[in-house]
């Protein structure tokens, strides 16, 4: 039997000359280059058509051509915004972990310093709107870390991306039109209108629709500036809460201690009882003292499946939920405000 290798097989094993490899790679690259621009051009054309339709709608709404020219000149689809919108992490933090992340001791310490630093202004705003200074500062701290994290996305491009993308296009289209109206009114310039990837703006992180309804020109300079003017930031925050139904002189709630036989079915905002009734069920303040002796109604909130911690919440807690529907968020704002007042 002839065991010598077949010459045809040896030929297959010969190394391919580098020149041939480069030619093949060039052909592949050429095909890819021919396909990609066509796809990109089609996408660009579709977005341009959509943008022109948006411009027409904005013009019909009364927004000036010069504003639209400036705002839409460099607008673009932001892939990072789509990525963030589609890959939002599921909430897996426990309430304790959330509090540790949102109101660390450093944020409490900074908040107490800023509360003192801006005490005169905050007291004026508190008197005007009936919202405590500590609550204003607590929301400021949680929303933007006292103005240090307002987001660096172009609000117009971010909202245009989300409106064009289609997942929640109607909602974000309305927000985009509101953002264009804000520019048209001269409150901020397009290059300074920065915010989160979802379009939340400034130090108070208002969506454009909230800005239009609730933002305030407190220093009376003709602009409602929640990006750089603290007078407007504080007053806009307080006005939002006041318009949402904040009751002056009432607090949001406090931690309580539940009896061992407490029925968890009694927890939740859908159940309200007079404090005397909760007292009769064995509920006490966290320090063991009796509940306040008022005729106020309250609900019990359990942020986790366990019966501790437990919170007795009043009307103003529900106002926090109008700002952000998260139970964790509302409780965190209240507790940060409490800690700021302790300083």
CATH code of 60's domain: 1.10.8.350
**Domain shared by 158 and 60, yes or no:** yes
The percent of residues in the chain predicted with pLDDT above 70, rounded, is 86
Average pLDDT over residues 6-32: 49
In a domain, 26, yes or no: no
Q: What is the chain's length? A: 343
Local confidence band at 5 (pLDDT 50, 70, 90 cut-offs) = very low
66 lies in a domain? Answer: yes
pLDDT above 60 for 219: yes
* Mean of the per-residue pLDDT values of the chain: 89
Q: pLDDT tens, 260-274? A: 999 999 999 999 999
Q: Is residue 298 part of a domain?
A: yes
Work out the pLDDT band at 291, boundaries 50, 70, 90: very high
Please count the structural domains in the chain: 2
pLDDT confidence bin for 49, thresholds 50/70/90: very high
Is residue 297 domain-shared with residue 170, that is, in the same domain? no
Q: Are residues 304 and 169 in the same domain?
A: no
Closest by alpha carbon to 214, among 183, 245, 193? 245
Asked if residue 276 and residue 188 are part of one domain, the reply reads no
DSSP code string of 173-225: HHHHHHHHHHHHTTSS-GGG-EE-TT--BTTTTB-HHHHHHH---TT-SS---
Close Cβ partners of 334 (under 8 Å, ≥ 6 residues apart): 138, 252, 253, 313, 317, 320
Please check the confidence at residue 125 and state whether its pLDDT lies above 50. yes
Question: Which pLDDT tens digit goes with each residue over 57-114?
Answer: 999 999 999 999 999 999 999 999 999 988 766 567 899 999 999 999 999 999 999 9
Residues 261 and 159 occupy one common structural domain: no
Q: What is the mean pLDDT of residues 321-327?
A: 96
- Same domain (yes/no): 162, 279: no
Please give the residue range of the domain that contains residue 273: 253-313
**Distances from the Cα of 63 to the Cαs of 48, 183, 238, in angstroms?**
19, 9, 29
| pLDDT-wise least confident of 28-32, 89-93, 275-279, 306-310 | 28-32
**Per the domain annotation, does 334 fall within a domain?**
no
User: By mean pLDDT, which of 15-19, 137-141, 302-306, 336-340 is the weakest?
Assistant: 15-19
Residue 295 lies in a domain: yes
Residue 294 lies in a domain: yes
């Amino acid at each position: 039997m002839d065991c010598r290798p077949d010459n045809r097989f040896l030929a297959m094993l010969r190394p391919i000359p580098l020149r041939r490899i480069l030619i093949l790679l060039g052909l592949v690259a050429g095909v890819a280059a021919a396909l990609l621009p066509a796809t990109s051009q089609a996408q660009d054309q579709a977005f341009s058509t959509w943008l022109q339709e948006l411009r027409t709608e904005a013009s019909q709404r009364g927004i000036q051509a010069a504003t639209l020219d400036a705002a839409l000149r460099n607008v673009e689809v932001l892939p990072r915004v789509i990525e963030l919108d589609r890959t939002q992490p599921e909430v897996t933090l426990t309430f304790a972990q959330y509090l540790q992340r949102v109101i660390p001791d450093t944020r409490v310490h900074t908040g107490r310093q800023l509360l003192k630093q801006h005490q005169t202004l905050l007291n004026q705003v508190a008197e005007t709107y009936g919202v405590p200074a500590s609550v204003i500062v607590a929301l400021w701290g949680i929303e933007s870390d006292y103005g240090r994290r307002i987001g660096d996305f172009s609000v117009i491009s971010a909202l245009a991306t989300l409106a064009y993308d289609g997942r929640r296009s109607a909602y974000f289209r309305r927000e985009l039109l509101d953002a264009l109206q804000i520019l048209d009114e001269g409150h901020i310039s397009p290059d300074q209108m920065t915010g989160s990837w979802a379009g939340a703006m400034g130090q108070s992180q208002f969506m454009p629709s909230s800005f239009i309804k609730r933002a305030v020109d407190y220093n009376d300079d003709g602009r409602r500036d929640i990006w750089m003017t603290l007078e407007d930031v504080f007053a806009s925050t307080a006005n939002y809460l006041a318009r949402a139904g904040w009751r002056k002189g009432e607090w949001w709630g406090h931690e309580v201690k539940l009896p061992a036989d407490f029925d968890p079915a009694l927890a939740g905002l859908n159940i309200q009882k007079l404090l005397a009734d909760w007292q009769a069920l064995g509920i006490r303040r966290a320090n063991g003292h009796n509940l306040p002796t008022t005729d106020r109604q309250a609900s019990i909130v359990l942020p986790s499946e366990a019966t501790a911690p437990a919170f007795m919440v009043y009307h103003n807690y529900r106002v926090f939920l109008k700002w952000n529907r998260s139970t964790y968020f509302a409780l965190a704002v209240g507790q940060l405000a409490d800690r700021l007042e302790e300083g």
